[in-house]
Chain A
């Protein structure tokens, strides 16, 4: 079994990598890369050559291509000792290539030759003057750069190697004091008296690597960060993993002690302190609160994250669905062709045939006539606002579960072992609960991990209709805004969930039913 599981997991991971490769080909090669600027305000403000180079910079940032401007090349050469700083500084691009002076021309030729030989495309953008003057127009300075599309394999490798980032004490360049980790029993953020262990680092990107606080799950870490893909337009410059998992809603105020000893009631989340170079004395506020360059804080919010809202709605509806569907399905099978069965079948047909949008609006209309809240409000959360989304999600899955459970039970009822059990004198109740249900429930159980993990991905229509700030619309929003980083990240997340739930389903099935074995070879 272990051997089988390992090979199964490896194959699953392989297909996940392939999925990401397919998606990367789809969005990086098939789609027009200009489209990522559709919702970028700074792009529209840019002019002339500055616009071209801005596009190049952004494309490099979001993984489309490798971009080397002339200035970067000169700095590299200085670092390598092949040029002096003065030589590099004196290189100045003229308005066209022909007008360059001797010194610059030699450097430009060396640059062109070096990158052409490496397969780059070298582009020279001539400058443009304002009419009648010798001054460049805004963004009209001449530019020289080399660029090359990132090949798929390299893009895949960089993506998967950058997926998990572990913080270490050599992460930041200049640091005051000794680099190292300190362990404390009493977290200074709580005044240094409350018992609250924490591991803090100096030289790491985050100050707190491991700490406790009073919000679920009580132990938190900043040591390992998952980076699924940086957003371009959905949630600018924020990794999609953070977009999905960061708390939302109104600010949450707590009384904390800042590193300088100031005690204040604030919404700053002191445990999120991040290293930002040269900020210690950059403002009076920083001088008041902080003693070193760990000054970046995020705001603590009291709501759940996108994933949190989706999952809490999803998991309640999954539990509700299984609790209701199993007895209902059994009842339908027991009363086959009687009134209950017909009523249940009518319900199943209704759910299967009516477009999902239609019945969600019907539930919403019914719910609002009962004065239930039809929109989600993070500012004044009540339990009632969960009712309609949960019902809208649960009712279709109840129908689906009922349909299959009824089918499986009826199939089992006609099998020989049931006739044998009946001829052996077992009561109908015993036959149903001990024999038929046990066999019929196995394929149903196979789906449990899928529905539980599926709750993490949210529901597109339900969340839109009830304005739930959940995760379901992240993918559609990213697609509509051409946010490639988010698309790849979310796709990876979905693919991992789906392969995990398949494997877990098989494992669960083989635990419940000893006849099912995956270790022996299939026929």
Chain B
């Protein structure tokens, strides 16, 4: 044994490079070594991998600038539009080329003029800001209330019995009736419309979330987790919520365009907002659609509403895909 002993000093090694006894650390042995994983960073990595998402985001930014910044910059006010000229027939219902020829080239005339000689372009962006705000506020309220109640609904069996009956009743009250009654009692203002759309709107989302929670809550890993004594709030937030992120984001993606579409529908049947929203613009221009040469007044708000809805849907849907941890590999 002694002949085989190596003199370490022969190797010219410093002390740090040599083996040294290490104190036994119980905590360190429990640590799992894995690459650092940040959920949200992975989400965005996956999201930006698709080129179409960058295009859609850029488009979304342009839309938001035009709907929120542009009307503020030009100081647009639907009530006092300086170009409204009821007396002069020659400024009304102009095609883009005619309007530009008449007023000179300006961004505001590139979509022609409307029924009272106003700029269609300005009116559309002002209307979009109202429609987008309505959709965002309604979707936010419905999602927050719906997801919270849906989670409890899925977990508690007693609550389930009560809520299922409530759902049966609420889902069968015609929504047009509900909205019109609320609008008649309150007014057709922005916030009463928000109230009308959210007072029962959350229940469909809650029902959807309830079904998802029921599917996941009885899976084996949750059973195991419960056996280990995990409190129910922790199961809900740590075991189930991550599974639901993609579902929730997908829901948001479909909810927001649906409110924009819905606002247009309500205005069309005469139950919409009193403000000049996109739906109201489309409703006001529906007679212009049939008249040859006036088509721009009708089709431009329809096109803008569609573009907003498509962009929001694409961004939301792809964000939903990206937020599913199974795509992060």
Residue positions of A touching B, CB distance < 8 A: 11-12, 15-16, 18-19, 22-23, 26-27, 30-31, 35, 349-350, 352-358, 361, 460-461, 464, 475-476, 479-480, 487, 490-491, 494-495, 498-499, 523
Contact = CB atoms under 8 A, between A and B. Distances in A.
- Between A349, A479, A487, the greatest number of chain B beta carbons within 10 A of the residue's beta carbon is seen for A479
A4 to B, nearest CB: 15
Contacts of B28: none
A355 B168 contact: no
B195 to A, nearest CB: 14
24 contacts: A15-B165, A16-B172, A18-B169, A22-B169, A26-B173, A30-B185, A31-B181, A352-B254, A352-B257, A352-B258, A353-B261, A353-B309, A353-B312, A355-B264, A355-B309, A357-B261, A357-B264, A460-B269, A464-B268, A480-B180, A487-B177, A494-B174, A498-B171, A499-B172
- Main secondary structure, interface of A, reads helix
Contacts of A358: 264, 282, 302-303, 305-306
Contact of B269 (A11, A23, A476, A523): A476
B250 to A, nearest CB: 11
Contacts of A356: 261, 264-265
Nearest to A482: B184
A19 B172 contact: yes
- Between B174, B279, B289, B312, the greatest number of chain A beta carbons within 10 A of the residue's beta carbon is seen for B174
Contact of A461 (B265, B289, B298, B313): B265
A350 B254 CA distance: 12
B172 A494 contact: yes
Interface in B176-198: 176-178, 180-181, 184-185
A188 B302 CA distance: 60
A15 B172 contact: yes
A491 B173 contact: yes
Interface string B292-329: 00000010001101100110111000000000000000
Given A355-B302, A361-B302, A476-B271, 4 more contacts: A352-B313, A354-B305, A355-B282, A475-B177
B306 A354 contact: yes
Contacts of A35: 184
B168 A499 contact: yes
B313 A353 contact: yes
- Between B169, B178, B185, B313, the greatest number of chain A beta carbons within 10 A of the residue's beta carbon is seen for B169
A26 B265 CA distance: 23
Contacts of B268: 357, 461, 464
Given A352-B313, A353-B306, A22 B173 contact: yes
B89 interface: no
A105 to B, nearest CB: 43
Contact of A357 (B173, B180, B265, B313): B265
Chain B, interface residues (CB within 8 Å), range: 35 or more
Given A30-B185, A355-B261, A460-B269, A349 B172 contact: no
B218 interface: yes
B168 A15 contact: yes
Contacts of A11: 165, 168
Contacts of A349: 310, 313-314
A361 to B, nearest CB: 6
B202 to A, nearest CB: 17
B261 A491 contact: no
Given A15-B165, A498-B172, A357 B177 contact: no
Nearest to A460: B269
Pairs of residues from A and B, 4 with the lowest C-beta to C-beta distance, nearest first: A353-B309, A15-B168, A355-B261, A355-B264
A313 to B, nearest CB: 18
Contacts of A361: 289, 298, 302
A342 to B, nearest CB: 11
A15 B279 CA distance: 34
A518 B168 CA distance: 18
Contact of A479 (B180, B257, B282): B180
A374 B288 CA distance: 16
B124 interface: no
A94 B32 CA distance: 100
B52 to A, nearest CB: 11
A423 to B, nearest CB: 24
Contacts of B279: 355
B34 to A, nearest CB: 26
A19 B173 CA distance: 6
Contacts of B171: 498
B211 to A, nearest CB: 12
B134 interface: no
Interface string B61-86: 00000000000000000000000000
Contacts of B282: 355, 357-358
A523 B218 contact: yes
Contact of B181 (A18, A30, A355, A498): A30
Contacts of A476: 176, 269-271
B194 to A, nearest CB: 19
A31 B254 CA distance: 33
A90 B270 CA distance: 54
B176 A475 contact: yes
Contacts of B289: 361
B185 A23 contact: no
A352 B311 CA distance: 12
B260 interface: yes
A480 B269 CA distance: 10
A11 B165 CA distance: 8
A475 B261 contact: no
Nearest to A21: B169
Contacts of B177: 23, 26-27, 475, 479, 487, 491
B181 A26 contact: yes
A15 B171 CA distance: 10
B259 to A, nearest CB: 10
Contact of A19 (B169, B176, B180, B185): B169
Contacts of B169: 15, 18-19, 22
Contacts of B185: 30-31
